[in-house]
Amino acid sequence: MNITQLQTPKSLALIEKLISFDTTSYKSNLDLIEYIQNYLSEYGISSQLAFNEEKTKANLYATIGPQDKSGVMLSGHTDVVPVTGQAWDTDPFCVTHKDGMLFGRGTCDMKGFIAIVLSYLPEMIAAKLETPVHLAFSYDEEIGCVGARRLVEMMSGMPIKPAMCIVGEPTSLQVVNAHKGKLAQRITVSGLEAHSSLPHLGVNAIDFAADLILFIRELARELAENGPFEEGFDVTYTTLHTGKVEGGVALNIVPKHCQFDFEIRNIPGQDPQPLLDKVMAYAKDVLEPKMKAVDANCSIEMSPLSGYPGMFTEEEKEVVEFVQTLTEVKGLKKITFGTEGGLFTNALHIPTVVCGPGSIEQAHKPNEFIEVAQVLAMESFMDKLITALSPS
């Protein structure tokens, strides 16, 4: 089906504009933020920015409607994942319309949502909202919800905070009330070099890293077998996973260095810290003494890479019932991927759900797309939201 056979989304021009900004996480998002800020200013809406330390990236926060009421926050991230090494059939930073789909990096995850929200700014203003809409657009979500932490810091000092939050990550407009948390860690093993023909004179950093990786795998197996479990998730238990290993210089040298990264994705009801403690206890109490018996300078160290808390919002919370009235997709869902919602619920105590257009199955892939039907459904969502927040 061609886009011309469907109703043309009113947000199409803004989707095309936002996609044209290359805001891959390792780049600045300031051009896009400046565009949004100017767009808001044209309608008399002021905004606040929360920058990173280098002033190369910024979060944006703005309120439409009464400034002295809590209201509904619409949250989205402005960064996208890289396209490097991916086989795209089209220019990823130029929207291509084909067969009822809009192709481009960020169409689904999640500039499509942001563009749709912004396209309804005239309607929000004309409606003279009784309850305000707050816009919260962040940077560096894709590398561990980094930017949202600065946003949370700024919001924590505000006298009035939103009463509820909708994170517009792609859920095919199904309401999500829970997702897992994540902790990513790096283990650095420092051993002792030696000639490979005399391995007893060295401390093989790769070998000891492997021992620790196997210990992590055993923890993962125990969790899979014994839980705790939380029904509703595709994977109902907390998982551990080693995803990257580097070490060694040459085959004939006992390796002095090995480094690996692992992660914990915890169900909301389980604290991941005891699992980290078990990993380090095994490293420090079991493996390190064996290494230091050969050379006292050997060590195993762990450092954090990134992380975000899990999110859980009780079904009885007002935000759950309210957002369900705005979408035609019924039922609640729990997701295994993370969002900034965990920060809003844990740090700011704002009841939050995740609900946005598009499917997570299309995110992060070459030829990322969002169905036009999903864009139109989100626009209907916005119509209902504005009506619900307007004077009766």
pLDDT in tens, 256-301: 999 999 999 999 989 999 999 999 999 999 999 999 999 999 999 9
Q: Do 319 and 304 share a structural domain? A: no
Q: What is the reported pLDDT for 2?
A: 45
Q: Do 285 and 247 share a structural domain? A: yes
Of 252, 273, 308, which marks where a domain is finished? 308
Catalytic residue among 109, 140, 141, 379: 141
Of 257, 291, 308, which marks where a domain is finished? 308
What is the pLDDT averaged over residues 344-366? 96
What is the pLDDT averaged over residues 232-237? 94
Q: Do 224 and 75 share a structural domain? A: no
Q: Do 39 and 153 share a structural domain? A: yes
Of 245, 276, 308, which marks where a domain is finished? 308
Q: Do 321 and 252 share a structural domain? A: no
Catalytic residue among 79, 169, 263, 368: 79
Q: In whole angstroms, give the CA distance from residue 249 to residue 388.
A: 63
Asked if 79 is an active-site residue, the reply is yes
Q: Domain span at residue 251? A: 181-308
Q: What is the reported pLDDT for 190?
A: 98
Q: Do 78 and 190 share a structural domain? A: no
Average per-residue pLDDT for the chain: 96
Q: In whole angstroms, give the CA distance from residue 89 to residue 353.
A: 34
What is the pLDDT averaged over residues 16-31? 97
> For position 385, which CATH number holds?
3.40.630.10
Q: What is the reported pLDDT for 336?
A: 86
Q: What is the reported pLDDT for 1?
A: 39
Q: Do 384 and 246 share a structural domain? A: no
User: SS3 letters for the chain?
Assistant: CCHHHCCCCCCHHHHHHHHCCCCECCCCCHHHHHHHHHHHHHCCCCEEEEECCCCCCEEEEEEECCCCCCCEEEEEECCECCCCCCCCCCCCCCCEEECCEEECCCCCCCHHHHHHHHHCHHHHHHCCCCCCEEEEEECCCCCCCHHHHHHHHHHHCCCCCCCEEEECCCCCCCEEEEECEEEEEEEEEECECEECCCHHHCECHHHHHHHHHHHHHHHHHHHHHHCCECCCCCCCECEEEEEEEEECCCCCEECCEEEEEEEEEECCCCCCHHHHHHHHHHHHHHHHHHHHCCCCCCEEEEEEEEEECCEECCCCCHHHHHHHCCCCCCCEEEECCCCCHHHHHHHCCCCEEECCCCCHHHCCCCCCEEEHHHHHHHHHHHHHHHHHHCCC
3 has a pLDDT exceeding 80: no
Which residue did the predictor score with more confidence, 367 or 6? 367
Tally of domains in the chain:
2
Q: Do 138 and 56 share a structural domain? A: yes
What is the pLDDT averaged over residues 171-199? 97
144 has a pLDDT exceeding 80: yes
Q: Do 172 and 197 share a structural domain? A: no
Q: Do 320 and 284 share a structural domain? A: no
Q: Which residues contact 386 (CB under 8 A, 6 or more apart)?
A: 120, 123, 124, 127, 129
Q: Do 110 and 57 share a structural domain? A: yes
Q: Do 98 and 146 share a structural domain? A: yes
> For position 256, which CATH number holds?
3.30.70.360
pLDDT range class, residue 4, cuts 50, 70, 90: very low
- H or E element that contains 22: none
80 φ, ψ to 5°?
A: -130, 165
